[in-house]
Amino acid sequence: MSAGSDVRVRDLVVSFGATVAVDHVELTVEAGELFMLLGPSGCGKTTLLRAIAGFNAPSAGSIHFGAEDVTRVPAHARNVGMVFQSFALWPHLSVAENVGFGLRERRVPRREVEASVSAALASTKLDGFGGRRIDELSGGEQQRVALARALVVRPRCLLLDEPLSNLDARLRHSMRDEIRRICKEFGLTAIYVTHDQKEALAIADRVAVMRAGKILQLGAPRDIYRRPRSRAVASFVGAANLIRGRVAEVRADSRVVDTGAGRWVAGLDDEFRPDTGTEVWVCVRPECLRLRVDEARPNIVRGPCEATIYLGELAEHQLRVGDRLLSVYEVNPGGAADTTLAAQADVSDVVLLPFDGDEGGDS
């Protein structure tokens, strides 16, 4: 199977009447990249994917596969593989007939269809399943059939729309690893829509977080999680303590911020370097607040523990600090938590975000 081509989306707009579902999106997916479109329901991610597939006609902008402008090319002529949330398998056809459907539609010779279907089933670990009926398969096996059907046409781009949402938690975990294995083994360019943050962080090369038809932030999973650029990204991708504050002191490599939950010293990057007096959000992930403190270093918070939620491998403590409740994660928790706790975050783990006027971030 040949490697996929790069996908370039330029100033793309998709509208349905007066509703703008995709709002001037700019995006480049490199050849061989596993790229995630992440966001809540209604953010435009599936509409964008369907535009790339050729199912939704853009109102403006362009889509290129490699050097070819496919903006007005019909879906059946784009040579993409599509895996749907519902799998969309034909129940009256066998596994092999489902997988070979696209090749038969293209009038590929029978022997070539058989060889290609056999190879696609082997690549998805379905050897020997060709004669089975769809209703004889488990959910995970049906998902593999849907993948094999998409792969068998040797697509320039593999598009996956919430492909694991109908599977149970155990199957989702194993199938996401399998999807990454297949994409990397065949050098596929893959664009994958999900609302599951852990799914995106676990397997993506890069992630685009969407909201209201726009891309809020694009980057490697670690960067999206560790260095969010807005309150919306910080609160959607994982848990976050978001505290309203004001910059009290400017330092060369940090800022000191006064908040309703104490004074914080935050590290800086090149994206946001606020001046004295600027209102900001202070963002601290719950796992970055550790229960062992060093009195010689900043960012210590103390207060009563108002609740503890036991989650197995960790416990979530609700720590009252000033007028805020902060979430603190304790890994491998022991017995009952103390009634009063102290926690501390490294300067590098405290992130400053522009204040957007939305009080919903206070915790």
Residues 163, 148 contacting (CB under 8 angstroms): no
Are residues 78 and 136 located together in one domain of the fold? yes
For 229-271, what is each residue's pLDDT tens digit? 999 999 999 999 999 999 999 999 999 999 999 999 999 988 8
For 23-73, what is each residue's pLDDT tens digit? 999 999 999 999 999 999 999 999 999 999 999 999 999 999 999 999 999
Are residues 97 and 134 located together in one domain of the fold? yes
Are residues 251 and 196 located together in one domain of the fold? no
114 occurs within a structural domain: yes
235 occurs within a structural domain: no
Are residues 69 and 173 located together in one domain of the fold? yes
Using CB atoms within 10 Å of the CB of residue 139, give its burial: 0 to 12 exposed, 13 to 18 middle, 19+ buried. middle
Looking at residue 362, what is its pLDDT? Answer: 47
Are residues 210 and 246 located together in one domain of the fold? no
Are residues 19 and 87 located together in one domain of the fold? yes
Confidence (pTM)? 0.89
236 occurs within a structural domain: no
Of the three residues 192, 226, 260, the one that is the final residue of a domain is 226
Looking at residue 3, what is its pLDDT? Answer: 58
Of the three residues 226, 258, 291, the one that is the final residue of a domain is 226
With a cut of 70, say whether residue 337 has pLDDT above it: no
For 166-195, what is each residue's pLDDT tens digit? 778 877 888 888 889 889 988 999 999 999
Are residues 309 and 346 located together in one domain of the fold? yes
113 occurs within a structural domain: yes
With a cut of 60, say whether residue 351 has pLDDT above it: yes
48 occurs within a structural domain: yes
Query: What are the start-end ranges of the H helices in the chain?
Result: 45-53, 95-99, 101-105, 110-123, 139-151, 169-185, 197-203, 221-226, 231-236
231 occurs within a structural domain: no
**The token pair that represents 354 in the structure block:** 């522009």
Q: How many domains does the chain have?
A: 2
Of the three residues 178, 199, 226, the one that is the final residue of a domain is 226
Looking at residue 67, what is its pLDDT? Answer: 94
Are residues 267 and 180 located together in one domain of the fold? no
Are residues 221 and 254 located together in one domain of the fold? no
Are residues 175 and 270 located together in one domain of the fold? no
Are residues 292 and 180 located together in one domain of the fold? no
**The token pair that represents 268 in the structure block:** 């800086």
Query: Cα–Cα distances in Å, from 189 out to 8, 120, 245, 331?
Result: 12, 17, 42, 37
Average pLDDT rounded to a whole number, residues 111-134? 90
Residues 203, 176 contacting (CB under 8 angstroms): yes
Report the candidate in 302, 305, 289, 309 with the shortest Cα–Cα distance to residue 339: 305
Are residues 247 and 344 located together in one domain of the fold? yes
Looking at residue 185, what is its pLDDT? Answer: 86
Looking at residue 358, what is its pLDDT? Answer: 62
Residue 50: which CATH number?
A: 3.40.50.300
234 occurs within a structural domain: no
Q: Which domain holds residue 56?
A: 7-226
